[in-house]
Chains A and B, each alone.
Chain A
Amino acid sequence: MPSNFFVPDPEGRTPSPEGYFGAYGGKFIPEALVAAVDEVAVEYDKAKSDPEFARELDDLLVHYTGRPSALTEVPRFAEHAGGARVFLKREDLNHTGSHKINNVLGQALLTKRMGKTRVIAETGAGQHGVATATACALFGLDCTIYMGEIDTQRQALNVARMRMLGAEVIAVKSGSRTLKDAINEAFRDWVANVDRTHYLFGTVAGPHPFPAMVRDFHRVIGVEARRQLLEQAGRLPDAAVACVGGGSNAIGLFHAFIPDADVRLIGCEPAGHGVETGEHAATLTAGEPGILHGSRSYVLQDEEGQITEPYSISAGLDYPGIGPEHAYLKDSGRGEYRAVTDDAAMQALRLLSRTEGIIPAIESAHALAGALEVGKELGGDGLIVVNLSGRGDKDMDTAARYFGLYDTDAEVTEDASGTAEIEGDVK
């Protein structure tokens, strides 16, 4: 029986056997990890053609995650998008509250197949960490999550969720104390404990096979959205819009539409305080090709190859790299990438909340802000699908401070969680 929800790239268009998407990708890893990464590639190849793997994963995706996720039209929100029709792919309704669970369940099954008993993962916003901790609880695996210290503060709710699920959460204090540094620390752990440990990487970056494998696990997003749009709107969209940090939810939405040449694929990068200020994480907009975390792609770096510190209000997008397939889509012109500021994203977050009763994650709000622009460009005949990659519960503290939603006499403790970078509470 063919799988309904595990839908890897059917044509094997990319990557090459060496893991290259055009000039990007590859496997830039220390020798100590070569055997483990090769093992993941071999095991994934076997799993891909094993009906039992597809059956197990399908069962989880239906009865545990709740797939298929809904496709919701949002007409009151769309009034602000030039009158174009806007549909949201509701990955926020998945169990654990984001798209991340799609990949995590796939890799957790692989972990079992490889006979490993411990999982490590990095997390930015905490959504990948929560999904990973969830799968480890479900499968009885030991779980350690690395999270930048700044992110543990601005996403404190998710830290508590991970610990409730039984995971150990380690606050990483090196470098910029955000997602990049959490990945560095996870790699250090993996090198030392690779015998029993799988590194359950959370985005479409890293060494081959991760960019292709993680994409395959998320590909269901676009496959479902494409089918649902044909049913609900009667045609394919003019644009598929998603936020891009490492790029997993975006590639998940985009991939099934790549052969549909008339569907524009638009990734929204975090412009932070504005690309021109230097305080941003808009890797494809402002970066240059380089190597970070095991593959060649665009990276934010100086002229001597030192990685520069990114900034975004969104912990999940605050990363100076990007998956290699996005670099390939950019260079080939098939993908379009634009930058969305903190302010624009926060306004879109509030707008969707108040027009549709859906509170999105700050990450996803970047895509919503992008869709407002794209809608105006397309006009009233336009049709847009936006990947609502996660729900905003985790962001309520940041949003409350941003918009001044706390009662002034309520006790709001000051901390170093980056709120200093959020200008005022009056917007």
Chain B
Amino acid sequence: MSGNVRLLDDTLAAAKAEGRAALIAYLPAGFPTVDGGIAAVKAALDGGADVVEVGLPHSDPVLDGPVIQTADDIALRGGLKIADVMRTVREAHAATGKPILVMTYWNPIDRYGVERFTAELAEAGGAGCILPDLPVQESALWREHADKHGLATVFVVAPSSKDERLAEITAAGSGFVYAASLMGVTGTRESVGAQAEDLVRRTRATTDTPVCVGLGVSNAAQAAEVAGFADGVIVGSAFVKRMLDAPDAAAGVEGVRALAADLAKGVRGQA
């Protein structure tokens, strides 16, 4: 069975046809439990997210700030396995018909086996992967298997990326380009980095693939601001923080739904 890269492309194209940016939510699998995580992913999609990135937690999340580190710790202490991540993808996709990506560090996939991982993710209905510590130069094996199984390879670009490197990255990637709004790890910020708009402009000069902006976006006003210059808005830590701050799991899921609804207005310029 082939993965859902086409569904991802169509979803982003549909948002563009509506004259708006897409809303992409990040939620770690297994947080606070596997079932609780699935409920949260569904709530984000029900609330108005167009795409969800399901995090596969790692013991050493060097690109994540304290909020996602805390969620990852809870998931791993709960005994999260890659099979649980696959179930999260499968159930969320089956329930909503929307594109689901996996975001993780490279070692879990390297260890699990690239062929096994891509085959299982495609079979679960996944649309692709974001692997922020796998640079394009080290990605040939991954891309071979991702292509074979119909999965997108979303690369991250950063404000420090030089133009020739942007061209190299976007030529190898698919689905969308993840433009990091600032130099730093995940986490909510007061304002979106001023470098984001310039990075989107420079990235677009190299590709027709949609360019979505993440890192630091946490509310509808920021989403609206980013939607003014990008094809998609990626929000992660703000969702996780809602769940961490909620008095119980059910309230956390409702918090995710409410934030998604709020952000969905933002990406439509209604903040």
Residue of B nearest to A307 (CB): B59
Q: Which residues of B contact A36 (CB under 8 A)?
A: 160
CB distance from A388 to the nearest CB of B (A): 32
Contact at A188–B185, with CB atoms within 8 Å? yes
| Smallest Cβ-Cβ distance to B58: which chain A residue | A306
Bound complex: CA A158 to CA B234 (Å) = 43
Q: Which of B15-23, B36-44, B134-142, B257-265 contacts A (4 or more CB under 8 A)?
A: B134-142
Does A387 touch B at the CB level, under 8 Å?
Answer: no
> B61 — which chain A residues lie within 8 A by C-beta?
184
A407 close to B (CB within 8 Å) = no
Partner of A28 from the list B69, B135, B159, B161 (CB cut-off 8 Å) is B135
Q: Is A175 an interface residue (CB 8 A)?
A: yes
**Segment with Cβ contacts to B, from A241-249, A297-305, A416-424:** A297-305
B60, B109, B169, B180: the one within 8 Å of A180 (CB): B60
Chain A residue, CB-CB nearest to B69:
A174
**CB–CB B133/A35 < 8 A:** no
Does B165 sit within 8 A of A, measured CB to CB?
Answer: yes
Of chain A, the residue at the smallest CB distance from B83 is A304
Chain B, interface SS category = loop
Q: Is A18 an interface residue (CB 8 A)?
A: yes
State whether A291 touches B185 (Cβ < 8 A). Answer: no
Q: Mark B124-165, 1 if CB is under 8 A from A, else 0.
A: 000000001111011000000000000000011111111001
Q: How many residues of A contact B (CB 8 A)?
A: 38
A31/B59 contact (C-beta < 8 A), A191-B184, A192-B183, A290-B107 known: no
Let me know if B160 and A30 touch, CB within 8 A.
no
State whether B63 touches A34 (Cβ < 8 A): no
Query: Do residues B112 and A305 form an inter-chain contact, with CB atoms below 8 A?
Result: yes
In angstroms, Cα B138 to Cα A193, docked, is 25
Complex Cα distance, B138 from A29, in Å, reads 10
Is B158 a contact partner of A31 (Cβ separation < 8 A)?
yes
A361 at the interface (CB under 8 A from B): no
Scan residues 50-106 of chain B and give those whose CB is less than 8 A from a CB of chain A.
Answer: 58-63, 65, 69, 76, 81-82, 105-106
Given contacts A174-B69, A305-B112, contact A28 B62 (CB under 8 A): no
**Contacting residues, chain A, for B111 (C-beta < 8 A):** 288, 290, 301, 303-305
A18 to B59, CA, bound (A): 27
Q: Does B10 contact A (CB under 8 A)?
A: no
CB <8 Å contact, A191 and B183: yes
Q: Which residues of B contact A193 (CB under 8 A)?
A: 183
Which secondary structure dominates chain A's binding surface? mixed
Which A residues are in CB contact (< 8 Å) with B180?
Answer: 31-32
B10: shortest Cβ distance to chain A, in Å? Answer: 27
B184 touching A31, Cβ below 8 Å: no
Q: How far is the CA of A296 from the CA of B160 in the complex (A)?
A: 24
B110 within 8 Å of A by Cβ?
A: yes
Q: Does A187 contact B (CB under 8 A)?
A: yes
In the complex, per-residue mask of B153-195: 1 if CB is within 8 Å of any chain A CB, else 0: 0011111111001000100000000001001110000000000
The complex places the Cα of A29 from the Cα of B139 at a distance, in Å, of 12
The residue from A29, A181, A191, A292 contacting B107, defined by CB atoms under 8 A apart: A292
Chain A CB count within 10 A is highest, among B108, B109, B161, for B108
Q: Does A194 contact B (CB under 8 A)?
A: yes
Whether A175 and B59, one on each chain, are in contact in the complex, defined by CB atoms closer than 8 angstroms, is: yes
CB of B184 within 8 A of CB of A192, answer yes
Tell me the smallest distance from the CB of B74 to a CB of chain A, in Å: 13
Distance from A199 Cβ to chain B, minimum over Cβ atoms (Å): 12
- Residue A27 at the B interface, CB < 8 A? yes
Listed by A's residue number, 21 A-B pairs whose Cβ atoms lie within 8 Å are A28-B106, A28-B138, A30-B133, A30-B158, A31-B132, A31-B160, A34-B161, A175-B60, A192-B183, A194-B183, A195-B183, A290-B111, A291-B105, A291-B133, A299-B107, A304-B112, A305-B58, A305-B110, A305-B111, A306-B58, A306-B59
Q: Which residues of B contact A (CB under 8 A)?
A: 58-63, 65, 69, 76, 81-82, 105-112, 132-135, 137-138, 155-162, 165, 169, 180, 183-185
A residues sitting closer than 8 Å to B (CB atoms) are 18, 26-32, 34-36, 174-175, 180-181, 184, 187-188, 191-195, 288, 290-294, 296, 299, 301, 303-308
In addition to A28-B106, A188-B63, A306-B59, 18 A-B residue pairs with Cβ atoms within 8 Å of each other are: A32-B158, A32-B180, A32-B184, A35-B160, A174-B69, A175-B59, A184-B60, A184-B62, A191-B63, A291-B105, A291-B107, A293-B60, A296-B110, A301-B111, A303-B111, A304-B111, A305-B111, A307-B60
Q: Name the 10 nearest CB pairs between A and B, nearest first.
A: A305-B111, A305-B108, A32-B158, A192-B184, A305-B107, A306-B59, A187-B62, A35-B160, A291-B107, A307-B59
